[in-house]
Each structure stands twice: as C-alpha cells, then as structure tokens.
Amino acid sequence: MPFAENIKGRNWEYQHDNAPTHTSSVRKNYLNSKNVTVLEWPPMSPDLNLTENVWGFMSRKVYENGGQFYSVNALKTSIESAWCNLEPKILQTLIMSMEKRVYDAILKNGKTLNY
C-alpha cells in the first residue's frame, strides 16, 4: 500500500486472494484504518489470480535445466532475470484473459475454473 499512499486524488480498492496473511485481523484493521475498500474474492477461484500464472512462467525459467541455487543472492538474481526477461506478450495475454475468467467465475458461482 505504500506506493498507493504516494499517489493522491484516487479512491483505492484492494483485492487479495484470500491468503491467510491477507485476511488476518491485523491486515483488516490496517486497511480499515486507511479507509481502503476491499473487494471480495471468490473463495474457490484461484484462476483469477494472474500472479500464479506469472510465477509459473518464472519458476520454469528459474529452474530450467535442473537449476539449483546455493545462495539466496543467486536465487534472487535468477528470479530478477526471469522477471526482466518475461515476454510482454505473456503478460498481455494474461491480462486480456481476465474478462473471460471473471465472466466464467460468475457463471460458476465462484467455483474453480479450467485455466
């Protein structure tokens, strides 16, 4: 949220993926104290979380050819490289898939999708 606080003149809405750290009472109290509107996340729809897809692409790149890391810095460097070299077309395709994913989630009442 720090970056959002630096951008004035906007009403912010926050949507998390129901991870326990995102739904804790501490987090809820913090968001309430900042007057942040929290959008509901369908409890059975991880397919709406594009971050999972991005991590999948990056993880395959980081660990291709049986990659192993013997230091945190080496792992961080590999993750940063995977992020920087992620093809924009992949991100664009994921973004463009959201309308259909949301529509399908509504049709399935928030249950798991086939993505």
Please give the residue range of the domain that contains residue 13.
Answer: 1-41
* Confidence (pLDDT) at 1: 60
* Per-residue b or e along 89-104, where b marks 16 or more CB atoms closer than 10 Å to that residue's CB: eeeeebeeeeeebeeb
CB atoms closer than 10 angstroms to residue 47: 19
Q: Are residues 55 and 81 in the same domain?
A: yes
Q: Are residues 32 and 69 in the same domain?
A: no
* Confidence (pLDDT) at 3: 61
* Confidence (pLDDT) at 90: 93
Q: Are residues 33 and 64 in the same domain?
A: no
d(CA 105, CA 111): 7
* 3-class SS of residue 91: helix
Name the nearest CA neighbour of 10 among 18, 19, 20, 1: 1
d(CA 56, CA 62): 10
* Confidence (pLDDT) at 4: 63
* Confidence (pLDDT) at 54: 92
Question: What's the longest Cα–Cα distance across the chain?
Answer: 48
Q: Are residues 56 and 84 in the same domain?
A: yes
Q: Are residues 49 and 79 in the same domain?
A: yes
Q: Are residues 1 and 32 in the same domain?
A: yes
d(CA 76, CA 81): 8
Q: Are residues 62 and 6 in the same domain?
A: no
Mean pLDDT by 10 residues, the chain (115 residues): 63 74 85 84 72 90 90 95 94 92 82 68
